Amino acid sequence: MASSPSANGVLIFFLLLSAPVCLSLNNTTASLQSHCPRSKTPRRGSPAGSSFVPSTSFLSTLHSTLDEIKKVMSLVSTFSSSLDCDLRVSSAVSDCIELLDLSSDELTWTLSNSQSNNASTEGTGGKRLSDLHTWMSAALGNQDTCKDGLGGTGGFVDSLIAKGLEKVNSLVADGLREIAAAAVEHAGEKGGRRRLMGFPEWVSAGDRRLLQAQPAAVANAVVAQDGSGNYTTVAAAVAAAPAESPRRYVIYVKKGVYKENVEVKKKKWNLMLVGDGMGQTVISGSRSYVDGWTTYRSATFAVAGKGFIARELTIENTAGPQKHQAVALRSDSDLSVFYRCGFSGYQDTLTLYYAEYMNYGPGSGLGRRVKWPGYHALSDATKAANFTVARFIDGNSWLPSTGVKYIAGLTV
């Protein structure tokens, strides 16, 4: 029933987009409404053997969400070739395609993990509910990032796909509610398991040693500006790293300031970057919103590949505060570790929360802090406790096996 109006909708887009204009499309929202059929087919439930048995409505929500994402992606894709003339629009469009693709992966993992007992392929193993929750929360954030990017483009593409994004998010939120309810129910069991487990499958026992080892001794590839390594840029070494590697692949980046933007794409699994120290090995970019990049795309270093580890280096964005959003690091990757790394950049967005608690030493006086709306000086330990390693990233369940030293709670 829905197929003929959608076909019409797509046709309309192609006709309009073939005109040599950037931003003067008119009245195409009508075609969007036909992009929302919702599958009502009940799916089979989970095989036995797990503590979380997803309901048929949960599974059908996931399927509907995946269908919806496909539709929004194909709609967004129709803009990708026609809007080259405006960097910000074209990068917002390509961000959205990438982000929706990420959501689609995350929901596919959610689906396959909630349907089988097989946690060997994705994520962290047995902590099923926590994984499902992580993936679905990430999938919820992606659409917002997409929308933020488009929001800065003058509103036209934004208004076209807003409905689709809203629909995706409301479906994901439905699914998340079910996961959250199940998590409450299984809270006791989860707590018990958390202490026993702690060895996610993506981390080999050897990672602990890698985090302490001399980089030159363990590197698969070396980056050096003076030509003494295999590559002279980090991006080249990352591009040459094996795809979907089940084993850790270590890139040693020798001392130097690398003026480049690096993207660890989602197929680059288990990559580890080791530098010569914070402030010694520096990856330095300067993309910013003001210069036409989306916030998402302004990142000097972006990680989507799972199992990423960085050690002893600095990632910076030097665009400066007058350039508005200029992000040093973006990490979409599940279970990344940044060990003894420095980050510097600027961001003044409204979608963000900054807080500090009980700082001391030079610069700790609160008198000359920025006046950003997201900035908070916390004075209440119960508030600050929500941002500890244990609570905020559930660190006790996975950090021990990486060898990273950390403090789980508040020590003041």
Ligand X SMILES: *[C@@H]1O[C@H](CO)[C@@H](O)[C@H](O)[C@H]1NC(C)=O
Q: Using the CB atoms, write b or e for 186-214: b if 16+ within 10 Å.
A: beeebeebbeebbbbebbbeebeebbeee
The residue (of 292 and 374) whose beta carbon lies closer to ligand X is 374
Exactly one of 4, 15, 20, 24 binds ligand X (CB under 6 A); which one? Answer: 24
- According to DSSP, the residues that pair with 273 across neighbouring strands are 251, 310
The residue (of 278 and 389) whose beta carbon lies closer to ligand X is 389
The residue (of 118 and 359) whose beta carbon lies closer to ligand X is 118
Residue 191 CA, distance from chain mean position: 26
3-class SS at 36?
Answer: coil
Q: Where are the alpha helices (DSSP H) in 214-306?
A: 215-218, 234-240
Minimum gap (Å) between residue 345 Cβ and ligand X:
26
Task: Compute φ and ψ for 95, nearest 5 degrees.
Answer: -60, -45
159 near ligand X, rule: CB under 6 A: no
Find, among 127, 125, 122, 120, the residue nearest to 107 by Cα. Answer: 122
221 near ligand X, rule: CB under 6 A: yes
The residue (of 262 and 327) whose beta carbon lies closer to ligand X is 262
Minimum gap (Å) between residue 273 Cβ and ligand X:
14
Neighbours of 409 (CB within 10 A): 10
The residue (of 364 and 379) whose beta carbon lies closer to ligand X is 379
Q: Using CA of residue 20, residue 35, residue 32, residue 163, what is the dihedral sign?
A: negative
- Tokens representing 242? 């094996």
- According to DSSP, the residues that pair with 303 across neighbouring strands are 264, 331
Q: Who's near 208: CB < 8 A, 6+ residues apart? A: 401, 402, 403
The residue (of 55 and 230) whose beta carbon lies closer to ligand X is 230
41 near ligand X, rule: CB under 6 A: no
Minimum gap (Å) between residue 290 Cβ and ligand X:
28
Question: Which residues ranging from 80 to 119 are in contact with ligand X (CB under 6 A)?
Answer: 116, 118
Strands 337-339 and 309-311: what pairing? parallel
233 near ligand X, rule: CB under 6 A: no
The residue (of 70 and 408) whose beta carbon lies closer to ligand X is 408
Of 175-183, 215-223, 325-333, 397-405: span binding ligand X (CB under 6 A) = 215-223
379 near ligand X, rule: CB under 6 A: no
Exactly one of 1, 4, 15, 27 binds ligand X (CB under 6 A); which one? Answer: 27
- Tokens representing 64? 């509907």
Of 6-14, 141-149, 322-330, 382-390: span binding ligand X (CB under 6 A) = 382-390
Minimum gap (Å) between residue 249 Cβ and ligand X:
9
Whether 260 contacts 286, CB under 8 Å: no
30 near ligand X, rule: CB under 6 A: yes
# chain residues binding ligand X, by CB under 6 A: 15
Task: Note the residue count of the chain.
Answer: 412
SS3 content of the chain, % helix, strand, coil (to 5): 45, 15, 45
214 near ligand X, rule: CB under 6 A: no
Of 86-94, 183-191, 276-284, 380-388: span binding ligand X (CB under 6 A) = 380-388
The residues of the shown chain that bind ligand X, judged by CB under 6 A, are 24, 26-27, 30, 116, 118, 120-121, 220-222, 230, 382-383, 386
